[in-house]
Amino acid sequence: MRPTRYRPIRGTGGAIVAGHPLAVAAGAQILNRGGNAVDAAIATAAAVAVVRPHMCGIAGDGFLLIYDNRSHTVSALNAGGPTPAAVSLDRFPGGIPDRGALLSSVPGILDGWAQALERFGTIPWSDVLQPAIEIADRGFPMYESLSAWIRKYEDKYAADPATAALLLPDGRPPVPGTVFREPDLARTLRRLARDGARDFYDGELAAVFAGGLGERGGVITRDDLAAYGATWGEPVRGTYRGHAVHTQPPMSQGWMLVQILSALDGVDLRGLGYEAPDRVLTIAAAIRHAFEDRDRWFGDPRFTKFSVDRVLSPHRVDEIRAALRRPRPTASPVAERAGDTTSLSVVDGMGNAVSMIQSLWTDAGIVIPGTGVIVNGRLNSASARPDHPDAVAGGKTPVYTLHTYMVTRGEALVALGGTPGGHTQLQTNTQVLSNMLDFGFAPQEAVEAPRFLLGGALHYQSMSAIFVEGRFPERTQAALREAGYEVSVLSDWAELSVEGPDPVTTGSAKMIGIDPATGVRSLGVDPRREAYGYVG
């Protein structure tokens, strides 16, 4: 076993990984009272929306994978919302901004939580929301990364009175260690617990949300909200090293993970060796092709000719695999974007499981007065180019970087996980899965192993740039330079930089591995950013 910074965590009962210890505790509370994986996942997700308000919230979006142990099936739930009907590119003559009420897509995550519970849950909706309500009521200790985030965007938050009242109490960012309370959000969650999630879409809360956003220049209408419903679909699936890899269908870009792994499945990465420069060059080339296909074709199929069958066809996979032998970088430009996201996974004692991710993309800098609800800025992730497949249009669902994965062998679930990180989610998930399936790394080893990022990360300009953690050997770095990459070396365990010039996030990978023979659950929690776990 490779040495790890965190000692492996194992157990035989329920297991949870998430981005804050209070969220993990909320899910564990539900498991310990007899709830199943879906009950615990929604409790965890609601608690994360309280304690990581800059990363997700009830006016955000998300995607779920759900494994049912009785039927041995994986279901996908898309809780991402479309662009409001009244939005068009004409509203952004100077390009898409990083703040403002026009950036909000129709929020989807609440309906996603409710539908997941209705189909698979065993505990009442009101009970599942109770841990989050209690945390919002009593408050939680402010922590360093949230405080730094608020400080970085202080000008944005100060511009909206309701946002300033929430995030800048006493006129300044809360200091780590002080108690941060969200009484308005607690009341909103209590109302949702009583009246149900649909109150946000076709009830009084819908009127409050649409009206409050409209007063600030937004154009989401009550009709937009009432028309929304999260959608169930078949996961996108691929084969890798004798395992099935499941991920979310469009409008998630999870298909890119399957495309990359399908191309790599014809390459003996293990034979190359973990420290070999050719391993990194080969994976980087596969990642580059996936991003090129995304930017060439991927947009809402109702508005474009995009087809998963096209990008995952044997012909296209063979083309990419052949091109891996010529891993020359290209200087294709990639738009600057930032993202606010969190992932979580849950397995219960019966073997049911959920892997999900939820986000605001970048918050719009707006809180709806009296609700504590921070508005998403999802349209900042779309394109302002009319000829781009992901160009903004009314009713069009934007491309989501959000995706997670489940890995099965035969009918048995053997791993699940995900990571935040905007465009780097794809790269982190690819490397973590390769670490496990190619080299036999345990989850903690797979998550901690040195990571590289093609194109920079949150604000990258060119796919010829590559960032590598310093634990990669010098010969690997030299080979990348020789191949034409612009190499930047990160400090070990590099994390999201909120302050300063460093534009890179290596993600916050979280994984649960399951031994089919023993049932032992093994956690992988990333030391680079906030990641926490629980096993029963």
Same domain assignment for residues 298 and 198:
no
Looking at residue 424, its pLDDT comes to 86
The secondary structure of residue 421, as a DSSP letter, is -
Q: At 75, list the tokens.
A: 């279901």
Same domain flag for 74 and 176 = yes
User: In 153-228, which ranges are continuous DSSP H helix?
Assistant: 154-158, 161-167, 183-195, 199-202, 204-214, 222-226
By the 8 A CB rule, do 520 and 15 touch?
no
Same domain flag for 259 and 356: no
Neighbours of 278 (CB within 10 A): 17
- 37: exposed, middle or buried (C-beta count within 10 Å: 0-12, 13-18, 19+)? buried
Residues 180 and 82 in one domain: yes
Q: pLDDT tens-digit profile of 389-403?
A: 999 999 999 999 999
Residue 5 lies in a domain: no
Q: Are 154 and 168 in contact (CB under 8 A)?
A: yes
Residue 496 has pLDDT above 50, yes or no: no
Q: Are residues 329 and 444 in the same domain?
A: yes
Mean pLDDT of 437-461: 81
Q: Are residues 124 and 252 in the same domain?
A: no
Would 535 be classed as within a structural domain?
no
Q: Are 191 and 141 contained in the same domain?
A: yes
Query: Which of 330, 354, 381 represents a domain boundary (last residue)?
Result: 381
Confirm whether 9 is domain-assigned: no
394 by Cβ neighbours in 10 Å (0-12 / 13-18 / 19+) ranks as middle
| Banded pLDDT at 336 (limits 50, 70, 90) | very low
Residue 403 in contact with residue 65, Cβ under 8 Å? no
| CA end-to-end distance (rounded Å), the chain | 24
Query: Rg of the Cα trace of the chain?
Result: 22
Please report the pLDDT score of residue 460 as a whole number: 40
Q: Has residue 401 been placed in a domain?
A: no
Does residue 172 fall inside a structural domain? yes
| Confidence (pLDDT) at 421 | 84
Instruction: Write down the mean pLDDT value for the chain.
Output: 92
Is pLDDT of 12 > 60? Answer: yes
461 and 315 fall within a common domain: yes
Instruction: Judge if 25 and 97 occupy the same domain.
Output: yes
Among 83, 247, 341, 476, the one annotated catalytic:
341
Q: Is position 394 within any domain?
A: no
Active site residue 401: no
The per-type count for the chain, helices as H runs and strands as E runs, is 19, 21
Write down the pTM of the prediction: 0.95
Picking from 122-126, 135-139, 204-208, 456-460, which range would have the lowest pLDDT averaged per residue? 456-460
Work out the angle between the directed axes of helices 125-138 and 21-32 (0-180°, nearest 10): 140
For residue 429, pLDDT beyond 60: yes
Phi, psi of 178 (to 5 degrees): -80, 160
- 375 and 520 share one domain: no
Tally of domains within the chain:
2
Distance CA 521, CA 513 (A): 6
Task: Give pLDDT tens digits for 115-172.
Answer: 999 999 999 999 999 999 999 999 999 999 999 999 999 999 999 999 999 999 999 9
Q: Quote the domain boundaries for residue 205.
A: 17-232+340-381
**2 in any annotated domain:** no
Whether residues 449 and 484 share a domain: the answer is yes
In a domain, residue 8? The reply is: no
Which residue has better confidence, 59 or 456?
59
Question: Given 3-state DSSP classes, what are the helix, strand and coil percentages for the chain, each rounded to the nearest 5?
Answer: 40, 20, 40
Residue 403 host element (H or E)? none
Q: Are residues 23 and 96 in the same domain?
A: yes
